[in-house]
Amino acid sequence: MLHSSPPQFIDQLETPIPLVDLDRLAHNLDRMAAYCAVHGLALRPHVKTHKSPRIAAEQLRLGARGLTCATPRELEVMAGVCPDLLLAHPPVGAAKVRRVLGLDPSARLTVALDSLEALEPLAEAADAASRPVDVYVEVDVGMRRVGVSTPADALAIARRVRALPPLAWRGIAFYPGHVRQHLSRQDEALATLRADLSAHLALLGDAGLVPDVVSGGSTPAAWRMHEVTGVTEVRPGTYVYNDRATVELGACGWEDCALTVLATVISTAVPGQAVIDAGSKALGREPLPGGADAGYGCVLDRLDVPVVRMSEEHGILDLRATDWRPRVGDVVRIVPNHACIVVHLNDVMQGVRGEVVEATWPVTARGRTMPQWATP
């Protein structure tokens, strides 16, 4: 039987289900907005963490310059709330280029890319569609994922962009995802990053191509981006919810973890453990950075109780380090290792204050829905 009205209290919710602590969310949004304002950095948050226009609108209300997206779906959904979007993922392949360029023309579109192979077809399609597109050249400063590895390569691509209107070169982008040390131990990595970046900026400057924008900053590195000369913009994503990995990296405290998965203890039959109804399809199978044996999440307020093993719909709580003995039917809140994956696994988020469910909102930009193929 369908309920006629939505649940108002947490104990009415069917588990497993993601909860967002609304006070913690508000605090996290304020904290990053304030950091960027104090240091004169433009904030262009990555929406991959929340995938929700509701939270994006709040980020913009608090001063974000624009939004960062990784997928065409994220671009399409976020165009509904934001006129200034960055695709921080090279759009390669005719179908993807077509879809990206089909974005609402009233939205300013910037694309980050690192090759002429990605650039030329984009330029051709943008020209055919008379669609202005701004370009950041992606440079590698240590992550070894995407990004050109020499300043000369960055310069060559920037020059080519300038010869291909309606494309316009705006600057460079880098992702410091390799800076995964604790916040207090990032000095060495930041020194290398600073040196790499200044080599890029020097060559571009010598060639008369001073970038308008130098875009960087993950959540763990964002708090120290003001120490990296030349950076004008940061793109943190995870900071809205934070997670166990972010705590371990010293970029937030446990009290800043806004996202948990509410789960029910379904078995205590095996001594030394309790089984919950949240497995890999609720929590994601994400390791902690450098913590191969640390499990996949832990109980909020009982940090010595990790989820040590999972099946798809079962999570095993290890009770060996605690004298706490949960009973079948008890509910727990699990802090996941990686919040973004949990969001991606769910259609709807529940916003809570204390025991009260105050709001629900859809994870609208999840998945890859191809509009042209969707059937009603």
Stretch of residues binding ligand PLP (CB under 6 A), selected from 21-29, 212-220, 276-284, 314-322: 212-220
Work out whether 46 is an interface residue with ligand PLP (CB under 6 A). Answer: yes
Question: What minimum distance in Å lies between the beta carbon of 238 and ligand PLP?
Answer: 4
8 Å CB contact between 147 and 196: no
- Return the DSSP state at 331: E
Work out whether 71 is an interface residue with ligand PLP (CB under 6 A). Answer: no
Helix H or strand E encompassing 55: helix 53-61
Alpha-carbon span 181 to 155, nearest angstrom: 30
Site for ligand PLP in 172-191 (CB under 6 A): 175
Q: Distances from the Cα of 258 to the Cαs of 51, 199, 244, 372, in angstroms?
A: 15, 39, 11, 35
The correct pick among 235, 244, 333, 366 for binding ligand PLP (CB under 6 A) is 235
The correct pick among 238, 242, 337, 350 for binding ligand PLP (CB under 6 A) is 238
8 Å CB contact between 276 and 266: yes
Stretch of residues binding ligand PLP (CB under 6 A), selected from 35-43, 235-243, 273-281, 301-309: 235-243
Place of tokens 């960062």: 68
For ligand PLP, the closer CB: 140 or 277: 140
Work out whether 336 is an interface residue with ligand PLP (CB under 6 A). Answer: no
For ligand PLP, the closer CB: 88 or 126: 88
- Cα dihedral 73, 97, 376, 105 sign: positive
Residues in contact with 166: Cβ distance below 8 Å, sequence separation at least 6, in sequence order: 126, 127, 130, 131, 132, 133
Helix H or strand E encompassing 103: none
8 Å CB contact between 193 and 142: yes
For ligand PLP, the closer CB: 169 or 239: 239
Q: ∠333-334-340 over CA atoms, to 5°? A: 125
Measured from the Cβ of residue 343, the count of other Cβ atoms closer than 10 Å reads 24
The correct pick among 211, 236, 279, 297 for binding ligand PLP (CB under 6 A) is 236
The correct pick among 72, 171, 237, 284 for binding ligand PLP (CB under 6 A) is 237
Site for ligand PLP in 119-178 (CB under 6 A): 175
- In the shown chain, the binding pattern of residues 73 to 92 toward ligand PLP, with x for contact by CB under 6 A and - for none, equals ---------------x----
Question: What minimum distance in Å lies between the beta carbon of 374 and ligand PLP?
Answer: 26
**Contact positions vs ligand PLP (CB under 6 A):** 46, 68, 88, 175, 218-220, 235-239
